[in-house]
Amino acid sequence: MTRTLFHGLCAFPMTPADAEGHVEASAFAGIIERLVTADVDSIGLLGSTGIYAYLTREERRRAIRTASDITGGRIPLMVGVGALRTDSAVSLARDAAEEGADALFMAPVAYTPLTEAEIYQHYATVAGATSLPFCIYNNPSTTGFVFTGSLLSRLATVPNIRAVKMPLPANVSVETELSDLRAKSAGAIAIGYSGDWGTADAMLAGADAFYSVAGGILPREMLRMIRAAQSGDEVEVRRIDRSFQALWALFREFGSLRVVYVIARQMGLCDVAPPLPVLPLRDDAHTRIRDAVEEITAIAG
């Protein structure tokens, strides 16, 4: 199929690393190869599940190089370049471009709370550091910053900014928010969502893309839901989504990052722990996770 950046399923894989934060390239290559084989629309490298905030600049670069070597241009690579300092994010953006990234995305990582003026300048500077298309990573649950419609409208005019990754709306429907954002951005940016338990509603509402943690570990199953939504088959979307309900509950209870590490170990993809201070889940959660995945593969696989 013809691929368009910032559309369809963007799969966000984990980045296996040892206790010292060194990327385990062989295991990572295997994870990326699974996404290529599944034929996802794009790969969201070094997102929150990809532990970008816990990796050095050198290890981030190594991860991008490993993924680029595996994809070989077959699947677009969208790479996260979030950092506390603007100059650091600029350097990361240039590194990603040199290592083969096809697009960039960035969360507004901060310690000192940032104003809208500061966020605008930060994004304009980093987006202008390369010629690659750029996605705004709106992730208030980790950054504490909420992008307003007016700020997104301003950023939509910045050269290279082509998309936004939104959290699921809390007080309005996805349809209402999509309509509002598209009007405010004059249709200049693709609008996608994250928060896997909202995949069905967001894609059926007409979101351009879904940025999925589950897609990074269960790509075939998530693709079936995305493709059904793109074809307008709501019955099939809801059927597949029902098989994911136990996993969605686990994501909300424990955080998707911790759950994905358990799934990867159960699948034999890698045997690593989350980066400290994040602790691995206790054994009593593992059976629940295994059962949830088995339900998905039995129904949606």
- Report the binding-site residues for pyruvate: 49
* Active-site position among 137, 193, 211, 261: 137
Sign (positive or negative) of CA dihedral 223, 225, 230, 233: positive
- Candidates 75, 71, 50, 59; CA nearest to 25 is 59
* Active-site position among 52, 123, 165, 184: 165
| Active-site residue flag, 184 | no
Q: In 10 A of CB 36, how many CB atoms?
A: 16
User: Do the Cβ atoms of 62 and 23 come closer than 8 Å?
Assistant: yes
Which residues are annotated as part of the binding site? 49
Q: In 10 A of CB 148, how many CB atoms?
A: 11
Side-chain half-sphere exposure of 123, counting CA atoms within 13 A: 32
Query: Cα(240)–Cα(210) distance, rounded to whole angstroms?
Result: 16
| Active-site residue flag, 193 | no
Tokens of 247: 């996993």
- Candidates 22, 25, 10; CA nearest to 69 is 25
- Tell me which residues are annotated as active site: 137, 165
